[in-house]
């Protein structure tokens, strides 16, 4: 009975993590939408709230196996966040090189910074969502093979730096995403499946572009050039 109660408690902790990340990402992406001036500001928060409500409706912590509907909704949610982030990066890049974005240089830098922050959190959520079949599978120890190989999971270190039943939590994926977003390459944790490699590659590429845009904008500010873009 106590074991089942702990499992249910763990499920609800998982849901709260998703909600917090979704709120932060929605705020960041909405701010970028406002700066880049595309779409109504309410559309993203409305879409994310709808996805969260659906995930709660179809979520049942009593399941002995991960809920298929809940897993599908989580994956749709994940790819929606990634797609919108890539769209924001594309619009930012297009605005810089075509001088068609009607914002000041400071707003351009803020937009790039917001996109980077959202990219970090979005891919942390994505890594957490796919690894080993999802958080529910990892929590119930039904994960067959990992998508990411952490140092604690390696056979020669497993019993020296972590307990034998160690499994990563959301903080570990935040760290993996952060190092990948800064170094634009994996560091101590390796992707071992095609999907994990694809997601890490996309994050690295997006962050590489963001850094380039931010550096270019900083140079323009330092030289007093604002890309001939009128301030708002």
**DSSP letter string, 24-38:** HHHHHHHHHHHHHT-
**pLDDT of 19 over the 70 cut:** yes
> What is the Cα–Cα distance from 27 to 118, expressed in whole angstroms?
9
pLDDT at 226: 47
What average pLDDT does range 42-70 have in this prediction? 67
- Sorted by where each begins, the domain ranges of the chain are 2-222
Q: Using an 8 Å Cβ cutoff, are 25 and 122 in contact?
A: yes
> What is the Cα–Cα distance from 80 to 120, expressed in whole angstroms?
15
Q: How far is CA 180 from CA 60, 169, 200, 208, in A?
A: 33, 17, 7, 10
**pLDDT of 115 over the 70 cut:** yes
- Between 148 and 138, the higher pLDDT residue: 148
Q: Give tens-digit pLDDT for 140-183.
A: 776 678 899 888 877 665 556 667 777 788 889 999 999 999 98
- Between 92 and 13, the higher pLDDT residue: 92
**pLDDT band, very low/low/confident/very high, at 42 (cuts 50, 70, 90):** confident
Any residues with CB less than 8 A from the CB of 168 and at least 6 apart, and which?
131, 138, 148, 150, 152
pLDDT at 210: 85
Nearest alpha carbon to residue 228 among 112, 104, 109: 104
Residue where the block lists tokens 């039904």: 142
Nearest alpha carbon to residue 55 among 70, 42, 34, 68: 70
Q: How far is CA 205 from CA 5, 6, 215, in A?
A: 42, 39, 16
**pLDDT of 127 over the 90 cut:** yes
Percent of the chain residues past pLDDT 70, beyond the cut: 71
């Amino acid at each position: 009975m106590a074991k089942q109660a702990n499992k249910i408690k763990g499920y609800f902790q998982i849901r709260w993590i998703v909600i917090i990340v979704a709120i932060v990402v929605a705020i960041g992406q909405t701010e970028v939408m406002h700066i880049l001036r595309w779409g109504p500001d309410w559309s993203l928060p409305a879409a994310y709230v709808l996805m969260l409500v659906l995930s709660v409706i179809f979520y049942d912590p009593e399941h002995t196996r991960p809920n298929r509907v809940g897993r599908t909704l989580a994956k749709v949610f994940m790819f929606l966040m990634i797609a919108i982030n890539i769209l924001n990066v594309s619009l930012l890049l297009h605005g810089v090189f075509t001088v068609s974005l009607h914002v000041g240089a400071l707003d351009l830098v803020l937009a790039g910074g917001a996109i980077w922050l959202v990219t970090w959190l979005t891919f942390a959520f994505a890594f957490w969502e796919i690894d080993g079949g999802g958080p529910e599978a990892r929590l119930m120890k039904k994960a067959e093979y990992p998508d990411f190989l952490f140092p604690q999971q390696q056979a020669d270190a497993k019993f020296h730096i972590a307990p034998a039943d160690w499994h990563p939590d959301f903080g570990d994926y935040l760290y993996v995403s952060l190092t990948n977003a800064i170094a634009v390459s994996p560091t101590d944790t390796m992707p071992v499946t095609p999907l994990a490699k694809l997601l890490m590659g996309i994050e690295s590429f997006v962050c590489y572009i963001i850094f380039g845009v931010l550096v270019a904008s900083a140079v323009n500010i330092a030289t007093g050039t604002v890309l001939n873009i009128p301030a708002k």
